[in-house]
Structure 1
Amino acid sequence: MTGKTWRVLIIDDNPQMAADAQREIVDVFEQNPDIDVEVSIETDFEKGFNIVKDGGSDVVVLDVRRDATNLTPVDETVGHTVFREIREARFAPVIFWTALPEKVEEEAIAPLVAVLGKGDIEKLPAAVEAAITSRTVDTIADIENHVTSVLTKHMWTELGPHWSEYTDGVDPATVAQVLISRLARILDEDREHSFTAHPSHRYIYPPASDMRAPGDVLRAPDGDWWVVLTPACDFEQKKFELVLLARAGQLKTHKKYLDWVATKSSGKWGELRKDVLMATQGRYHYLPAFRDIPDLVIDLENVRSVTADALEAMDAVASLVSPFSEALLVQHSHFRGRIGVPDLDPELIKERLESASSASA
């Protein structure tokens, strides 16, 4: 895959069982030319957590129960507690390998959190491989390394040499804003280069802020869907009394969708595609289904203003990312600001052009 060696940490207070798991994982991956693993053991749960917290492992195999010793009583929750602490400290895929799978089965999130019984030792290598091939660990590491590189370079090449100009008359801590702005611009450029058509690239799910913004997708208490159209500056300056929303109805109830379903003709599909699904002008704007969001069609003709209290009562489900949120506002501006004019008579134009072309022949 990437040529790296993946560090697997087994946290289990039973040395013999931990060694059996280590041998099982190593033996299977010796036959795998694409993935190299290094498997280590820690029999102390607290020390194991510290290794994970400090970034010393990529995948964790975690027991749940700690057996009784001369100094400590049996603890059937220690592994679960360590898992929760890992979740607070950093991201690392976890494979529960336990005689008490029922204690943690609600934590399973394949392929990032697996739950196996002690009798399923032969399934450990597959669970480790699934965690590795999910690409989550190296994706996060790549982002962290990129962020560190951007900040380090900007500090040494720009902020450092011009420190007095950046801090003149202000608290030096304000350079954080300069770094954040620099980082945001570079990450935004990277994001735009990696855009795909997948719906997950269109939404921030759930919203990253409690403050509303244009393009926020809201669900009202009655189940209706709405999208915010009020510009971001109004929210940031807290100068709004009313917030403008556009109704987003489900695609399956839209007339053009129903016309296509009824006929399945290429003509009706073309109308649905042009006027709804791919529209960047006009009345409709399509939002693809993702997670709890069904296929929706924003109707820029169906808008209403609501108070802050009414807005607060709505559930903010997701936010449209840039540039999709800006594109929606531009479409709304064009639609609301359009001016109707009489159409030219194409037949008169045709007659004139034919006459002119005949005269010049």
Structure 2
Amino acid sequence: MIRVASLLGLLIEDDRNFLGQMLQLLPRTISNFDIHWDSSDEFDNAIERIMRYRYDIIVTDVYANAVHKGKTPGDNKANDIVAAIRKTRMCPIFVYSSGSCPDSIEKEQGPFLIYADKAHPKFAKTLSDELHNLIKTGIPGIARRLHDELDAVSGPSFLWSFLQDHWNKLQKAGFTSPDTLERLIRKRASVQLGRLDPQQTGAKEIDFVSASEYYLMPPVADGLRLGTILRESQTNNFFVVLTPHCHLTIQPGKSCPRADHVLLIPAIPFDVVARENPDLDPREGKGSKRNEKLRKAIQSPAQIGKAPQGRYWFLPGFLDIPSSYCDFTQTRSVPYETAGSDYESLATLDTPFAEALQSCFISFYGSVGLPSLRPDDFEYLIDPNQSNQPPR
């Protein structure tokens, strides 16, 4: 887990007497993080604070007024707090009250939203244990680290150097409008956060990626584009869109793109390809040979059996997407409308992986075979005394 020096927490409790007790119960250190706690005894004020400040974890009472039939006022307040946080940022929440969990909170409970009964005799231990669990997910520390890195990217390392040094030129060229500057800084920040290794000091690009970095899940935009991962509704088979994005863009005033058909490439499960090529199955063998088989199996294009070089492109497994091979010898062209109705869009290959897939596909079908030269005709290259010297 990425660690930072300190995190900022917010305690929301409308009972001022119990607020003081809660502040005594809240831990000040978890997993080497120092936690500083703000507090609020008004829910409306708390929502304003959440919108204004960056809190890394929130502990809140349900604000349980007298219970009426149906929803209680407290149920609504707790729901408002959760909704406000989710609209603002990813922030784990610990909710407590006396009695059973309100319906609105119970429906939303998960690994980052925990409820506890403060009337339970072991409430103090539950509070401590669950806060430890929420912090140990890594989300609060990562969120704080990214926020600090964004400040650095748009601050001393970029605004103070590049923009200050080139401001006059940017003004003359017409690049200093607020919209243009925002896009420039956004682009710089996204590239720097995505390509630099956070574990290294200085500007060092990452050497390895995880499977999760291959994909944008869910897709960041509607519609199809190069690299969209589709799951066929009837068969649950996976396909990848190979049609360039420029042909799939829907122009203003139009209801469909220029491409009336979409080119798909099937993603063949790893087990299927491995069974068809047992000699190169990385699950067979031991030691260095096994590692070498695995290396060849997961590179792109993969080296699989006696298949033509470049036939298979490895697609690493992530969540619902299984580890698979895009088989360039099997393509499918479907009507654009069918691609939207009969397939579910799960994710999109991120840059540069989508472009690499397209490049390998083009290379595979653009390869040209040449007749071989006879080695005997070139023995003079290794033995100058050979009689078959080339003409001078």
TM class by smaller structure: 0.7 to 0.9
1:50 positional shift: 1.4
Alignment of 1:341 with 2:370, yes or no, is yes
CA RMSD of aligned residues (A): 3.4
> Which range moved further: 213-222 or 88-97?
88-97
1:87 positional shift: 0.9
Cα contact 1:24–1:122 (8 A) shared by 2: no
The whole-number CA distance in structure 1 between the counterparts of 2:270 and 2:195 is 27
Cα contact 1:13–1:66 (8 A) shared by 2: no
After superposition, the C-alpha distances for 1:72-93 in whole angstroms (9 at most, x for unaligned) are x753342123211221133322
Q: Which residue number in structure 2 is paired with residue 264 of structure 1?
A: 284
Cα contact 2:227–2:348 (8 A) shared by 1: yes
After superposition, the C-alpha distances for 1:301-345 in whole angstroms (9 at most, x for unaligned) are 111222210221221111111111111111001001111233445
Distance verdict in 2 for CA 1:235–1:78, change over 3 Å: same
Pairs aligned (count): 345
1:38 positional shift: 2.6
The whole-number CA distance in structure 1 between the counterparts of 2:325 and 2:14 is 55
Q: Which residue number in structure 1 is paired with residue 345 of structure 2?
A: 316
Distance verdict in 2 for CA 1:183–1:235, change over 3 Å: same
1:258 positional shift: 6.2
Alignment of 1:291 with 2:299, yes or no, is no
Q: Which residue number in structure 1 is paired with residue 4 of structure 2?
A: 2
The whole-number CA distance in structure 2 between the counterparts of 1:181 and 1:218 is 32
1:177 positional shift: 4.1
Identical-residue share of aligned pairs (%): 21
After superposition, the C-alpha distances for 1:268-323 in whole angstroms (9 at most, x for unaligned) are 7745642x421336000111111111111110111122221022122111111111
Distance verdict in 2 for CA 1:63–1:47, change over 3 Å: same
Q: Which residue number in structure 2 is paired with residue 138 of structure 1?
A: 144
Alignment of 1:331 with 2:352, yes or no, is no
Q: Which residue number in structure 1 is paired with residue 174 of structure 2?
A: 166
The whole-number CA distance in structure 2 between the counterparts of 1:77 and 1:325 is 45
Q: How does 1:67-216 map to 2 (within 5 A)?
A: 67-68=65-66, 75-99=74-98, 100-101=100-101, 103=103, 104-110=105-111, 112-118=112-118, 119=120, 120-133=123-136, 134=138, 135-146=141-152, 148-149=154-155, 158=166, 162-163=170-171, 165-166=173-174, 176-177=179-180, 179-181=182-184, 183-194=186-197, 195=206, 196-216=208-228
> Which range moved further: 142-151 or 125-134?
142-151
Q: Which residue number in structure 1 is paired with residue 300 of structure 2?
A: 279
Q: TM-score, normalised by structure 1?
A: 0.81
Alignment of 1:245 with 2:264, yes or no, is yes
Cα contact 1:288–1:295 (8 A) shared by 2: yes
Q: Which residue number in structure 2 is paired with residue 307 of structure 1?
A: 335
Q: Larger helix proportion, structure 1 or 2?
A: 1
Cα contact 1:251–1:257 (8 A) shared by 2: no
After superposition, the C-alpha distances for 1:190-214 in whole angstroms (9 at most, x for unaligned) are 4122344311111111111113221
Cα contact 1:151–1:183 (8 A) shared by 2: no
Q: TM-score, normalised by structure 2?
A: 0.75
1:354 positional shift: 6.2
Cα contact 2:150–2:189 (8 A) shared by 1: no
Consecutive unaligned residues of structure 2, counting only runs of 5 or more, are 198-205, 252-256, 302-308, 388-392
